[in-house]
Amino acid sequence: MKKDIILCGVGGQGILSIATIIGAAATKAGLQLKQAEVHGMSQRGGDVQSNLRLSDETIYSDLIPQGKADLVISMEPMESLRYLPYLAADGTVVTSSKPFVNIPNYPAEDDVLAEVRALPSAVMLDIETVAQEAGNPRGANMVLLGMAAPFIGILSVEQLREAIAVVFARKGEAVVEGNLKAFDLGVEASRS
C-alpha cells in the first residue's frame, strides 16, 4: 500500500509541522518514507509545499509525479488549486475554507471556494475558527491534519494522535492536549 500526499500553504501556517507528524507516525509504523520540501519563501509568507510519500514497499523518488497524488492537504484554498495538476483522478483535496490573502491580486474569494467545491472529492472547513473554538488559535494546522486523517488511510487516527504527542512533548502537556483537541475536532468534522 502507498500514499502520495502534497502538503501546501503559506509560510508560517504550520505545513511542515504536519509533515513532521505524518513522518513520525509513518516511521514508527515501519513504513518507507520520502519527503521533499520547498520552504525558502516561508519567512515572507510565500508558497510552502511538501511532497510526502509513504509506502510499505521501497520508494525510489521523493517527488510525486503529476496526476499521482492521492491527497492534497492545504492550509489555504488557492494553494490547493495550485497543486491540482498533481492530484490523481480519484484523489481528494482537504483544505481550509478561509483564504490567506497575502498578495494584491488574490482572486475573488467566492471564485476560489466555488472552484474547490466543484472538485469531485474535496473537504473544506474554516479551520481557524474551529481552532479558536477549541481554545488553541495556533492549532489550525492540527484541525487540518485531523480533517485529512480519514483520507490518509495508510496510517490510523490513533497513530497520528500518538505522533502529535511525541512531536509536541517538549513543549509541555498543555500544548500536547491543545493540539490533540484541535486534531480530534478536525477528525470529527471530516467524518460528519
pLDDT averaged per 10 residues, the chain (length 192):
92 86 96 81 69 94 94 95 96 95 86 95 95 91 97 96 97 95 95 84
For position 140, what pLDDT does the model report? 96
Per-residue pLDDT tens for 59-73? 999 899 999 999 999
For position 5, what pLDDT does the model report? 97
Q: What is the rounded CA–CA span in Å between residue 22 and residue 19? A: 5
For position 77, what pLDDT does the model report? 95
| Cα 5 to the center of its chain, rounded Å | 8
For position 54, what pLDDT does the model report? 96
For position 130, what pLDDT does the model report? 94
For position 101, what pLDDT does the model report? 83
Is the separation of the CB atoms in 3 and 152 below 8 Å? yes
Is the separation of the CB atoms in 94 and 123 below 8 Å? yes
Is the separation of the CB atoms in 127 and 98 below 8 Å? yes
Sheet arrangement for strand 47-55: 32-38, 47-55, 2-10, 69-74, 87-96, 122-125
For position 37, what pLDDT does the model report? 75
SS3 for 71? strand
The burial of 192, by beta-carbon neighbours within 10 Å (0-12 exposed, 13-18 middle, 19 or more buried), is given as: exposed
For position 134, what pLDDT does the model report? 86
For position 85, what pLDDT does the model report? 96
Antiparallel, parallel or unpaired: β 69-74 and 87-96: parallel
